[in-house]
Amino acid sequence: MPTFPFTEADPIQYPGPPPKTSQVVIVGGGIVGVTTALFLAARNISVTLLEKGRVAAEQSSRNWGWIRKQGRDADELPIVIEACRLWRQLADECGEDIGLNQTGVTYLANADKDMAKFEEFMRIATTHGLDTRLLDAHETAKLITGMSRKFAGAMTTPSDMRAEPWLAVPALARLAVRKGAKIVENCAARALDIAAGRIKGVWTEAGYIETSTVLVAGGAWSSLFLARHGVSIPQLSVRVTVAATEPLPEIYAGAAADDHIAFRRRQDGGYTLAAGGSHLLYLGPDAFRRATKYIPALRDNLFGTRYFPFAPSGYPDGWSTPRDWAPDSESPFERMRVLNPAPEPAKLRSIERNFKQLFPQFDKARLKVGWGGMIDAMPDVVPVVDLVRAVGGLFVATGMCGHGFGIGPGMGRVVSDMIQGNDTGHDLSRFRLSRFYDGSPVRLGPAL
């Protein structure tokens, strides 16, 4: 089975060199960094995006490709609604086929307790005028054809969308460059230059960039980068395994999931598959230091997390990964250009088995590719999007908790206005960094 297509062996599309000065420097070439650069460039602000490996090579291309309002945290939802509008706008501006389709998202209920959770979200959906609705068992079977078992019901949002992440994020990067953004691949940001409590510049492996404003949007690497500067974010990363089938007859044009299997129709006629609600946490120094903050999340989904005693060498929370380095020496980010975890063979077999059990007509179907990804997680399952108060000119947008692809353009627009000092149009207090240190109780986002 071939590996995921994006690796550090892929040709560099944006070779640099980085400029000597830039109004804004963004660390991280995923969906949030790319769209923030796009919106800043559209305002004629000079912005340089630094990517240690390749644009979108990590979780921004490895995700399920869902663009959903359904099941979102109430404070995320207004930004997701905006993101859905922006996805359509940006897809038109790109002039490329990114697989964007409005085909709906559906959650399947195995039992009445699942329907009760769906009813809780329906109150949020009604407040925001969503087209989300609950289905009974008969309506569920009619919506998704050929299922071998009867579900208690479902929740569906027909206006939700899907796209192909490995097409969409690189296309948005090309659009950002056309608008004037500077992207430099294979160029790790090593350290921030901070003087008198303010950003002065960024040291990169290819030289120094003078700037007064930095956004750290480095996904799984954000915490490691910021910790060197005394900025603590209780972020961890979990590994997930995903697969894609060969082309198959259509059973549902959108995306759906229950507790065991998640599936999404692909542009190539196959399905992207994953295990519903299952992930692997590597136990490293940060995992032990931050364990108490994750107790509410662990209690809420006691059996959703599996543990492994150590991460592979070079991973963000690996036992041997350096926590300090000099700006003029090699950093951990250069040592691992692309975080490319292998898919778990046992999990691939489980995914295939669960899909075929639900759809026995696909008994002869084959998985054509499998891949792993590292999702940057937070204790309350919502991101950190904030100005770092201790360092003037430093912003952070990380810990998207597996929601980043769908919400990405909305977050990019919000962060670009935050950087400019404009009204963001949304209440961002839920995403403040200080919530983990000011005595606020952990308020979990919905586990949907």
Q: What sign for the dihedral angle of Cα 403, 143, 259, 311? A: negative
Straight-line distance from the first to the last Cα atom of the chain, in angstroms, rounded to the nearest whole number: 31
Here the tokens at position 327 are: 């700006």
pLDDT at 4: 61
pLDDT at 303: 53
CA 15 from centroid of its chain's CA atoms: 25
Count of other CB atoms within 10 angstroms of residue 141: 16
Give the integer Cα–Cα distance in Å for 4 and 367: 13
- Within a 10 A sphere around the Cβ of 321, how many other Cβ atoms? 18
- What value does the CA radius of gyration of the chain take, rounded to a whole number of Å? 21
Q: Rounded to whole angstroms, how far apart are CA atoms 211 and 445?
A: 35
Token duo for residue 168: 């969409």
Would you state the pLDDT for residue 1? 44
Phi, psi of 255 (to 5 degrees): -125, 145
pTM of the model: 0.97
**CA-CA distances (angstroms) from residue 36 to 42, 393, 418?**
10, 15, 10
Closest CA to 406 of 115, 135, 105, 48: 105
Q: Please give the backbone phi and psi of residue 107, each rounded to the nearest 5 degrees, phi first.
A: -105, 130
Reference 380, options 307, 301, 276, 303; nearest CA is 301
**CA torsion angle 47 84 254 74 (round to 10):** 110
Alpha carbon of 219 to those of 46, 181, 213: distances in Å? 23, 20, 19
* Cβ–Cβ under 8 Å, residues 184 and 16: yes
At residue 2, the pLDDT reads 46
Q: What are phi and psi of 80, to 5 degrees?
A: -65, -40
Cα separations in angstroms, 168 against 23, 164, 221: 26, 6, 22
pLDDT by position in tens, the chain (length 448): 445 668 899 999 999 999 999 999 999 999 999 999 999 999 999 999 999 999 999 999 999 999 999 999 999 999 999 999 999 999 999 999 999 999 999 999 999 999 999 999 999 999 999 999 999 999 999 999 999 999 999 999 999 999 999 999 999 999 999 999 999 999 999 999 999 999 999 999 999 999 999 999 999 999 999 999 999 999 999 999 999 999 999 999 999 999 999 999 999 999 999 998 778 899 999 999 998 898 888 777 755 788 888 889 999 999 999 999 999 999 999 999 999 999 999 999 999 999 999 999 999 999 999 999 999 999 999 999 999 999 999 999 999 999 899 999 999 999 999 999 999 999 999 999 999 999 998 899 886 6
Instruction: Pull the structure tokens for residue 260.
Output: 């065991």
Query: What is the bridge-based pairing of β-strands 305-308 and 24-27?
Result: unpaired
- Helices 31-42 and 165-178, interaxial angle, to 10°? 30
pLDDT the model gives residue 447: 67
